[in-house]
Amino acid sequence: MSFAKSVWKILVAIKDGLVLLFLLLFFAALYAVLSIRPAPGQVTDGALYLPLSGVVVEEASDISPTAFLSGQTPVAEYTARDLSRAITEAATDKRIKAVVLDLEAFGGGASVHLSQVGAAMDKVRAAKKPVLVRSLIYTDDAMQLAAHASEVWVDPMGGVVVTGPGGSRLYYKGLIDKLKATVHVFKVGTYKSAVEPYMRADMSPEAREAMQGVYGAIWQNWQDEVKKARPKADLAPMLTDPEKWVADSGGDAAQAAQKSGLVDRVGDSVSFGKRVAELVGADEDAGLGGFKSTELPVYLADKTASSAGKAIAVVTVAGEIVDGDAGPGSAGGDRIANLIDGVTQSDDYAGLVLRVDSPGGSVLASERIRNAVERVKAKGLPVAVSMGSLAASGGYWVSTPAQRIFAEPSTITGSIGVFAVLPSFENALPQIGVTTDSIGTTPLSGQPDILGGLSPQVSAVLQGQVERIYARFLGLVSKSRGKSSAEIDKIAQGRVWDGGTARQLGLVDEFGGLDQAVAWVAKQAKAKEWHAAYVVDEPSPFAQFFRQMESGEAPSAGSHDLAGALAARQQGLLVRLEADLARLTTDGGIKAYCLECAGEERTVVPARGGQGGGLLRLLALFVG
């Protein structure tokens, strides 16, 4: 017996020792990875090589370790700012002979961001350096980028497929009726169609009118940009009769694209690599088709941003505006307000640019951000807003303190309106034998009661609050724009506008990107020399660790052919389903959110490894 106990103690000691050893090895590996940083001076004479196996965004999302523990791999994200800066630097860097983009695993991006990157590619071409792009399939986003290249390659098995903005939207009224649930909607705004999915089975005429106007403007801007970048390209056959367009080339989509001038050469990745090697030199160690190159992280480490002159603070509001400290990638109201207050408290900044790329969200969080911007103004610093792809509803709320608002023609903005949605199940529960009874001391006791139903009094209180907040929203905008509340109300009502129309209506002041906004603030601050100083949160060690793991990851195993490309675009409907149901089954706070804009936030492929969240929420509704 004593022998068995001794053996057991030895086994336990071995087990404990192994656990301790594995923990030490894990933390040693973690420290080693976090210590690895691309170092200046590692740039190779050759090409700036950008294999974009993810999406272009305004601000990269924070990465939660739980995503990896659950078996999901986040989609790689590249900020438009980093891409455009690197490509612009390459134009004058003697070590860089060409800029090369591989878009085979490209996940897309908002039109405004792609235009920003495209403008940087134009600078390289203006410097008489070649810009080469390859892909298997060019969708709308990839084609928008590729149009700016001097040499566009497509795989013999690929082609170009451009669909234009638009598509199906989800409506849940039929499902809600079948469940005998009640959705209480409190809103202001004829065009505030964010709540329509819960009230209707189809799109209202007002929502259709608004979205057709926005889609039409964005689509025209896309065509204008592509035609300007590739004036010899013939878009008409592809856009008017794609079936005949491909059939006229014997069913060969790659040849059809080449004949139309959308691409220049047809060849596989090895042929493309050999062509690049002719221009920049071959890399024998990289295998067949290898060429000398430097990738984005190394190049950015070598090309640090200028810090000369006065600092103009840039704070980014990207993603849905939510309460708390969430983000980056979503705009936690407290987190963003703290960043802005840091600008107020410091004497290092000559002004502030608020970069907004958001469909809005929580009214409370939006107000906290707006108040923080007002504190910067109260200090006497000039403030401008630079709108990215989307600055609507709460995204416009936080923009109201600015002395100057810059936007792009394809920016989506407006959606000045508020709403709240609360579900209740007083008619559904009796169907499964569950009933409710109540006792209260006031008309509001136990309200809002999602099981027994909302009382008329609480419904009236909630609608009154929504109307009061809408009136405040109108007041903020009218003060900012120098118009009466009645004038703003005519162009508000929850309606979304493209940047060009918004400028005509006076909701924005002028066209321009972030650089123009920074220059305007510098001028107001009487700065002869300046630089943009991005005020950001330090990424967590885990985020740094997983980003570095992700940076070396091969493209996803998903198919990149024509069918796969089209299917990937439609996966956004599953993401939309989950988001819509989340809004119905989670907090019911009053929102300044542009749900109708969400379809124009470029839908990306969900994290790989499972996507059952939306279906689980749907099931949760069925079981009440």
C-alpha span between 191 and 209 (Å, rounded): 9
Residues tagged active-site: 192, 393
CA distances from 574 to 357, 578, 596 (A): 23, 6, 16
Handedness of CA 429, 431, 432, 435 (dihedral sign): positive
For the whole model, what pTM was predicted? 0.84
Q: Block means of pLDDT (10 residues each) for the chain, length 624 residues? A: 63 70 60 50 89 94 63 79 96 97 94 96 98 96 97 96 86 87 80 77 87 92 96 94 94 96 96 96 90 94 87 96 89 96 96 96 94 97 97 95 97 89 83 83 80 85 88 94 93 91 96 96 95 84 52 46 58 60 61 64 40 39 36
Per-residue tokens: 100: 């090369």
Q: Whole-angstrom Cα distance, residue 261 to residue 235? A: 9
Region for 366 from its dihedrals, namely left if φ exceeds 0, alpha if ψ lies in -120 to 50, beta otherwise: alpha
For residues 221 and 111, the answer to whether their CB atoms sit within 8 Å is yes
Residue 32 to residues 35, 36, 302, 437, 545, Cα–Cα distance (Å): 5, 6, 21, 62, 10
**Partners of 186 in the beta sheet?**
420
The pLDDT score that the predictor gives to residue 86 is 97
Bridge partners (DSSP) of residue 110 are: none
Structural domains for the chain: 46-166+214-302 (3.90.226.10), 315-436+446-534 (3.90.226.10)
What pLDDT does 608 receive? 37
In eight-state DSSP terms, residue 595 is G
